[in-house]
């Protein structure tokens, strides 16, 4: 059996990092190259178990660096690209939108040019449900793949722009591609500025947990390992040119999520501290994943089983997130 070569961008981050481990473990006949710039949210300690595997290699590089990326593609001759690398924190995009445009839009375009030149077999662009904008609180209404793109933050606008570039390279140049749009992920190795790991770390340290506004904003939660399985399926069986929504059927208000974590850890709701709402805070995201389910995917985690597993992981791995909170991981 001939070996396949897979480039995963952003593989030192949360979702990309879990996908790197998933692919290295599942496909011994795949040579996995993990490309990451190692910005503030990237760290490699999560890959200590696989760093010496014959089918894994790390490359530190900037996806917007055209010369370096072109050289890497010429040298490696990749079969597949799965593109996670992105600036992804909404609050940071409000503070500094330019960084998001450079990485998420220009970086994607550099990768598309290299992929087209190299003649890769499939480019999977991992996007977000935030490109659709927001839904109201009607529980019968969901995002589908046909929902118009109406992003409301600089982050989601940059992701929508990159989605449209990927689509254009398929329509104009015939580049084999799929786009996946996922709901909020959670699970192991989630950077502790995000809601669930932030809440877990705050509660474990008996610190106040900030909740935006009234806490009634709703998100659909997807376990990262279910997401990895979905991307694997799309990579190998997705119909070229198609978009696939990946959702967990686990809608919760932010306040419900925080309270679940507090109760699981046996602490008091007095730790909750309501703070001024985020600018442009979308009310609700909810995904209809029927198209992907028809391809053969189903989430295996309910929110109850997934959040219990995630909380236990953070209890068992305090050293990992304490290094991040202290900033020591950057050294």
- How confident is the model at residue 329, as a pLDDT? 58
Question: For residue 262, is it within any domain?
Answer: no
Question: For residue 168, is it within any domain?
Answer: yes
Question: For residue 192, is it within any domain?
Answer: no
- Residues 216-230: tens digit of each pLDDT: 999 999 999 999 999
Question: For residue 329, is it within any domain?
Answer: no
Label residue 323 by pLDDT band (50, 70, 90): confident
What residues contact 166, with CB distance under 8 A and at least 6 apart? 108, 112, 123, 125, 175, 177, 179
Question: For residue 100, is it within any domain?
Answer: yes
Nearest alpha carbon to residue 22 among 49, 62, 60, 58: 49
Nearest alpha carbon to residue 82 among 31, 153, 13, 6: 6
- Residues 120-136: tens digit of each pLDDT: 999 999 999 999 999 99
Average pLDDT (182-195) is 91
Question: For residue 198, is it within any domain?
Answer: no
Mean confidence (pLDDT) of the chain: 93
Question: For residue 202, is it within any domain?
Answer: no
Residue 34 CA to residue 43 CA, distance in Å, equals 12
Give yes or no for residue 181 having a pLDDT over 90.
Answer: yes
**How many Cβ atoms from other residues are within 10 Å of residue 116's Cβ?**
17
For the chain, the three-class secondary structure string (H helix, E strand, C coil) is CCCEEEEEECCCCHHHHHHHHHHHHHCCCEEEEEEECCCCCCCCHHHCCCCCCCCEEEEECCCCCHHHHHHHHHHHCCCEEEECCCCCCHHHHHHCHHHHHHHHHHHHHHHHHHHHHHCCCEEEEEEEHHHHCCECCCCCCCECCCCCCCCCCHHHHHHHHHHHHHHHHHHHHCCCEEEEEECEEECCCCCCCCHHHHHHHHHHCCCCEEEECCCCCEEEEEEHHHHHHHHHHHHHHCCCCCEEEECCCCEEEHHHHHHHHHHHCCCCHHHEEEECCCCCCCCECCECCHHHHHHCCCCCCCHHHHHHHHHHHHHHCHHHHHHHHHCHHHC
Full residue range of the structural domain in which residue 109 is found: 4-187+221-248+286-301
Give yes or no for residue 115 having a pLDDT over 80.
Answer: yes
Average pLDDT (231-244) is 98
State the catalytic residues.
Answer: 129-130, 155
Number of independent structural domains in the chain: 1
Average pLDDT (92-106) is 85
Phi first, then psi: what are they for 185, rounded to 5°? -90, 155
User: Degrees (nearest 5) of the Cα angle 281, 283, 286?
Assistant: 125
Give yes or no for residue 1 having a pLDDT over 80.
Answer: no
Label residue 3 by pLDDT band (50, 70, 90): very high
**Least confidently predicted of 21-25, 50-54, 277-281:** 277-281
Question: For residue 291, is it within any domain?
Answer: yes
- Residues 310-320: tens digit of each pLDDT: 999 999 999 98
- How confident is the model at residue 91, as a pLDDT? 67
Label residue 88 by pLDDT band (50, 70, 90): low
Instruction: Look up the CATH number of the domain holding residue 52.
Output: 3.40.50.720
Label residue 331 by pLDDT band (50, 70, 90): low
- How confident is the model at residue 326, as a pLDDT? 75
- Residues 152-173: tens digit of each pLDDT: 988 999 999 999 999 999 999 9
- How confident is the model at residue 321, as a pLDDT? 87
């Amino acid at each position: 059996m001939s070996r396949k070569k897979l480039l995963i961008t952003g593989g030192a981050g949360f979702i990309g990092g879990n996908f790197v481990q998933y692919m290295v473990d599942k496909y011994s006949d795949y040579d996995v190259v993990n490309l990451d710039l190692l910005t503030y949210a990237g760290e490699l300690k999560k890959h200590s178990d696989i760093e010496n595997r014959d089918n894994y290699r790390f490359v530190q590089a900037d996806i917007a660096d055209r010369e370096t990326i072109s050289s890497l593609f010429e040298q490696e001759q990749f079969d597949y690209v799965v593109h996670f690398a992105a600036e992804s924190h909404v609050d940071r995009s409000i503070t500094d939108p330019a960084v998001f445009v450079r990485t998420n839009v220009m970086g994607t375009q550099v990768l598309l040019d290299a992929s087209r030149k190299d003649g890769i077999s499939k480019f999977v662009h991992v996007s977000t449900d935030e490109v659709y904008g927001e839904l109201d609180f009607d529980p019968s209404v969901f995002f589908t793949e046909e929902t118009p793109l109406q992003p409301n933050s600089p982050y989601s606008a940059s992701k929508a722009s990159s989605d449209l570039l990927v689509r254009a390279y398929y329509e104009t140049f015939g580049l084999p591609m799929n786009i996946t749009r996922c709901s909020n992920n959670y699970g192991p190795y989630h950077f502790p500025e995000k809601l669930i790991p932030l809440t877990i770390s705050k509660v474990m340290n008996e610190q106040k947990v900030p909740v935006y506004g009234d806490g009634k904003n709703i998100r659909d939660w997807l376990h990262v390992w279910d997401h990895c399985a979905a991307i694997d399926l799309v990579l190998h069986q997705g119909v070229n040119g198609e978009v696939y929504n990946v959702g967990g059927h686990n809608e919760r208000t932010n306040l419900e999520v925080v309270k679940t974590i507090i109760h699981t850890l046996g602490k008091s709701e007095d730790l909750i501290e309501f703070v001024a709402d985020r600018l442009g805070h979308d009310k609700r995201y909810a995904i209809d994943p029927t198209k992907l389910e028809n391809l053969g995917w189903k989430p295996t985690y309910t929110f109850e089983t997934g959040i219990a597993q995630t909380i236990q992981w953070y209890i068992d791995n305090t050293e990992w997130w304490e290094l991040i909170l202290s900033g020591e991981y950057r050294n």
